[in-house]
Structure 1
Amino acid sequence: MDSTFWAFVSLILFLGLIAYLKVPGMMAKALDKRADAIRNELDEARRMREEAQQLLAEYQRRRKDAEQEASEIVQSAEREAQAIVREAKAKTEEYVTRRTAMAEEKIAQAEADAVSEVKASAVNLAIAAAERIIVERADASVQKALFDKSIGEVKQRLN
């Protein structure tokens, strides 16, 4: 019996011992456990990827909504600013119109006052001239009667 025979017998005994101890089943179980663990990790990764895609879609929708809301706020602010400008312009025009009317009224009043002063001065000057002429041409009693009559007429016209 040579060493090849004993090596063959050792191999057979070793394979028998492995079969008796169910090492191939243990190895298969270990490989199955490993395959299940990998499968579970893949399923978990797939589930996490789907969640991430859903979150991404949700955030993109929220961003779009926020952009739209910001755009609406800007448009609203622009409309309000235009309304304020229109209102300020209208108030300014109204103020200018009112101030112009007041200035025209003051000018008209000043003209009327000036005309009244000129008329009063003319009347006073006419009275003085009439008085001088009457004094030079008439006697004292006639002068007094004419003077009183003239003054009465002037006072009636002024009132």
Structure 2
Amino acid sequence: MKKIYKKYFLIIILILIIDIISKLWILKYFDLYETTEILSVLNLFHVHNYGVAFSIFSSETLWNRCFLSILSIIIIVFIFKEIVKIEKKEKTDFCFILAGAIGNLIDRIHYGFVIDFIDIHINNWHFATFNISDCSIFLGMIIYIKKRIKTNFK
């Protein structure tokens, strides 16, 4: 394995380890729907997401579970091909997206849902509850967009 790919492989593995450990911790120490305030704008709130972002497609059916798992696998394969295809360019954005997609796919296959627990809120307004994999995907998208903007304005 090329040295450059080891770097990206380690990024993916590190994110997956943090994601899996955090979800196992939530499962062990929090009941479903249990909330603990961390900061005035941050709670840990154990929920199960049967859908995708913002609980879209959130039915607890086998069809839904299979459909979303297959969709995730297709996305993961596509991103992996992009990582391999791109030469001599920074691939951190794709690694973050890939790690997040794999982390949520592991949940979906193993549990039938994704474990979410990060609840950011201001007073009674709550953003969608999310997890480390979601943070990784979001960060990867920010890096990707920033690179594209930078490239387009040169």
| TM-score, length of structure 1 as denominator length | 0.21
Larger Rg: 1
Q: Which has the higher strand share?
A: 2
Q: Which has the higher helix share?
A: 1
**Structure with bigger RCO (C-alpha 8 Å, 6+ apart):** 2
